[in-house]
Amino acid sequence: MTLTKKGMLPFKVLLSLWIVYNIFTMFVMPNVGAYFGRVTSRFITPYANTVGLNASWNFFSPDPAHTMYVRYTIRYSDEEGNDIQEPVDGYFPAEKNKGITSATRKRELYAMRFMVIEPKRLRVLYGPWLCKQYPGASSVEMEHVIETVPPLDQVVFRKDETLKDLSQELQYVREYYSCTGGADEEAL
């Protein structure tokens, strides 16, 4: 029994579609956690699991890094705790939501990360330094803050909201340092 040219056409079409589907699956499944992978996963995941194409390689670009900084408040108060001057709020690095444009900015980011890896460093190193920068200050409150970058699918589904509204502000470390006294030295 031989197949005619007319009988081969449906076979070639189905074979071509199957090959295209396989290639599509091979390109999407390695990064099924990305937005496009999550959108198309219901069409390809059952097949990929059956034939073993479900390995994740994550060869696409990673998610952007979250914005990290230290927020501090310098307080001026007397012995009874009454404010004698308005508190000063600041950030380290001072330009918290800007990209790295200079070597100084890069050093500031590395210094900030160094301090928040071990929370005690904020109190032992950064607190005394801030007290010297603001003469007459009575205390310093510092906290490590992370502003998250919303996932792409959340941005797509909630188009009417701004990125700032979708972002979350998380506080991880909070430290207090008294400028008026305390231990001269403390081991890290």
7-23 pLDDT, tens digit per residue, is: 788 889 999 999 999 98
pLDDT in tens, 44-59: 888 888 887 776 555 5
Q: Rounded to 5 degrees, what are φ and ψ at 16?
A: -65, -45
My answer on whether 46 and 74 are in the same domain is: no
pLDDT tens readout for residues 80-103: 777 788 899 998 887 766 666 677
β-pairing verdict for 169-178 and 139-147 = antiparallel
Give the integer Cα–Cα distance in Å for 146 and 67.
6
- Do 31 and 88 have their domain in common? no
Distance in angstroms between the alpha carbons of the first and the last residue of the chain? 85
36-68: string of b/e by CB count within 10 Å (b at 16+)? ebeeeeeebbeebeeeebbeeeeeeeeeeeeeb
Is residue 41 located within the same domain as residue 92?
no
**How many whole angstroms separate alpha carbon 29 and alpha carbon 52?**
10
pLDDT of residue 63: 61
- Position 57 in a domain: no
- Residue at 135 is within a domain: yes
* pLDDT at site 187: 52
Residue ranges making up the domain that contains 111:
67-178
Look at the chain and report how many structural domains it folds into: 2
Residue-level pLDDT at 141: 92
Q: Give strand pairing partners of 70.
A: 92, 144
- Same domain for 40 and 97, yes or no, is no
102 and 167, same domain (yes or no): yes
Q: How large a percentage of the chain has pLDDT more than 90?
A: 13
Quick one: 165 and 86 in the same domain? Answer: yes
Same domain, 80 and 111: yes
26 domain-assigned: yes
9 plus 93 within the same structural domain? no
Same domain, 47 and 72: no
Residue 119 lies in a domain: yes
- What pLDDT does residue 56 have? 59
Strands 83-92, 169-178: pairing is unpaired
The predicted model gives 22-36 an average pLDDT of 82
pLDDT at 62: 57
For the cut 60, the answer to whether the pLDDT of residue 184 exceeds it is: no
* Per-residue pLDDT reduced to its tens digit, 135-182: 888 999 999 888 887 877 777 788 788 877 888 787 878 888 988 875
Together in a domain, 162 and 82: yes
- For residues 74 and 39, membership in a common domain is answered with no
For residue 118, the tally of other CB atoms under 10 A from its CB is 12
Give the residue among 32, 84, 40 at the shortest CA–CA distance from 59: 32
Place of tokens 């005690």: 120
Q: What is residue 27's predicted lDDT score, i.e. its pLDDT?
A: 83
Measured between alpha carbons, how far is 54 from 32 in angstroms, rounded to an integer? 9
Same domain? For 101 and 153 the reply is yes
Tokens read off for 170? 């998380």
